[in-house]
Amino acid sequence: MHIPDGFLTINVIIPTFIITLIFLAISIKKVKLTDQQVPIMGLLTALFFAAMMMNYPIVGGTTAHLLGGATLGLILGPFAGGISMTIILVLQAFLFGDGGLTALGANILNMGVIGIVVPCAVFLVMNKALKIKTTAALFVTVFVAAFLSDVTAAVAAGVELGLSQPVFQYGLSVAVPAMAINHSIMGVAEAFVTVVIIGTLLKLRPDVLAKSPILGKLSMFNKKDEVEA
Amino acid sequence: MVSKNQKTIIIGLGISLIFVLLGVFVFSYAMETLDVKAEELGAEENPIYEPPLPDYTIPGWEDEWGTLLLGVASTLLLFVAGLAAAMVLKKKSKSK
């Protein structure tokens, strides 16, 4: 999903850089990390860089990779999660040329802002509506949030490409569905991986999830004794 | 004595290195939807910068083993970068 140099026009490059820089400035100002989250942020940054190296076959000979936005957002919160994803995308662009420099604003916006804020928002809304108390309900909610993270990030990339005429002459009507449909398949894989990671942490490190600005809002973490490992 | 955090890091980095291995030797073929659509349209990449390690390869050593070495080194670099950023952000929020 990394957009290279040459695919976006200036009318897309400038606004995406501006939105991304505003989000990052707010993130740096607002972020609050707990002691438990410090090593976890390092670990998840490394984990999802490595996960992005794997390209899975999806449809029609195309491939896609995991994003990690939902895991980063749900565990670290949207601000620390966005910073973590930004570190990955900046290093990928500068060291390996994975994603163009002119498209860096768009790539961070898609994967590090939309791909992270959307699952956090979906989770908070569903938690408020469903008042999640069971592990099964938690997993379903995480699954939906992670799936939508991938799909909305892909839709955003499709919109940016669709608006970048004349480079992408297909326009929005082709670019958006193509990205959304193909990445919805990857979204299912992303959702499974996110559920597995959060399920594993719930069992082994509930203290990390309890301190999360997003998952920490679950009622199951209100009883302190249950989460102190 | 290994602390809970150290144990989590060791397991997590172990899983990351497995991802790198799989990414280099099993799931290495990449043809994203974006690439396919660009190819159909004849749209070409137009890089404005030459990265030192293009496409996850070491210039002059362009086989899987070079990519594996890069993947492992980069994963560790990202861990250090993420950890350093987290420590700085934690310190910053404490000093407010």
Nearest-angstrom CA–CA distance, B57 and B75: 15
Do residues A224 and A83 touch, judged by C-beta distance below 8 A? no
pLDDT given at position B34: 79
Closest CA to A214 of A97, A104, A118, A101: A118
Test the A interface: residue of B89, B92, B93, B96 with most A CBs within 10 Å: B89
Residues 1-20 in B contacting A (C-alpha not used; CB under 8 Å):
4-5, 8-9, 12-13, 15-17, 19-20
Kindly state whether A37 is in contact with chain B, defined as any CB-CB distance less than 8 angstroms: yes
> Residue range B14-41: average pLDDT?
84
Measured between CB atoms, does B29 come within 8 Å of chain A? Answer: yes
**Residues 6+ positions from B88 with CB-CB distance below 8 Å:** none
The CB density around residue A164, as the number of other CB atoms within 10 Å, is: 24
Residue A223's pLDDT is what? 60
Q: What is the pLDDT along chain A (229 residues), one digit of tens a residue?
A: 899 999 999 999 999 999 999 999 999 999 999 888 999 999 999 999 999 988 888 777 788 888 999 999 999 999 999 999 999 999 999 999 999 999 999 999 999 999 999 999 999 999 999 999 999 999 999 999 999 999 999 999 999 999 998 777 778 888 888 888 888 988 999 999 999 999 999 999 999 999 999 999 998 887 654 444 4
Task: ipTM value, please give it.
Answer: 0.92
Instruction: Provide the pLDDT for residue B96.
Output: 61
